[in-house]
């Protein structure tokens, strides 16, 4: 596929909302990937309410989070690290990871990973046992 450069605003995409024990309580929209002509990268914006989380999971694509607002705890490969505005998290391929909002306001972050779309990578998710899905 021939890929052309493009510019897109976060507000141009549609929002997906997860609200269940396995995947977590988080909403997100992809600016690159999914409905754009990208063939190897997905990037977007996510918002997590107070007490919200992204369930622990792993996938083939390497991923990065850049926290823009709020505070929380990221779970990466069995470790827990605090994150806040300005934190950048690198997540290697197949590394179990998740995120939990521990603050009083929304936790907002940009995500980037080396896959064509959220839907494409979602098909390859693996989860640790169910006791680790929620924070």
Q: Is the pLDDT assigned to residue 67 strictly greater than 90?
A: yes
Q: Is residue 4 part of a domain?
A: no
Regarding beta strands 53-57 and 71-76, do their DSSP bridges make them parallel or antiparallel, or are they unpaired?
unpaired
What are 2's two structure tokens?
A: 């021939």
Separation of alpha carbons 20 and 6, rounded Å: 34
Our count of domains for the chain comes to: 1
pLDDT band of residue 122 (cuts 50, 70, 90) is low
Provide the 8-state DSSP code for 131. Answer: G
3-state secondary structure of 24: strand
Residue 105: which CATH number? 2.60.120.10
Distance CA 104, CA 3 (A): 41
Q: Which of 8-12, 57-61, 97-101, 121-125 has the highest mean pLDDT?
A: 97-101
Residue 122 belongs to domain spanning: 18-132
44 is a domain residue = yes
Q: pLDDT tens digit string along 88-109?
A: 999 999 899 999 999 999 999 9
pLDDT reported for residue 36: 65
């Amino acid at each position: 596929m021939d890929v052309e450069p493009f510019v897109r605003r976060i507000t141009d995409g549609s929002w997906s909302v997860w609200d269940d024990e396995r995947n977590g309580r988080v909403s997100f929209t992809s600016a690159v990937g999914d409905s754009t002509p990208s063939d190897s990268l997905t990037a977007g914006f996510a918002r997590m309410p107070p007490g919200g989380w992204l369930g622990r999971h792993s996938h083939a694509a390497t991923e990065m989070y850049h926290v823009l607002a709020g505070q929380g705890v990221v779970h990466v490969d069995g470790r827990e690290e605090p994150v806040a505005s300005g934190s950048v998290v690198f997540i290697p391929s197949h590394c179990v990871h998740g995120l939990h909002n521990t603050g009083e306001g929304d936790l907002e972050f940009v995500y980037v990973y080396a896959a064509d779309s959220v839907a494409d990578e979602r098909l390859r998710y693996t989860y640790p046992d169910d006791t680790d899905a929620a924070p």
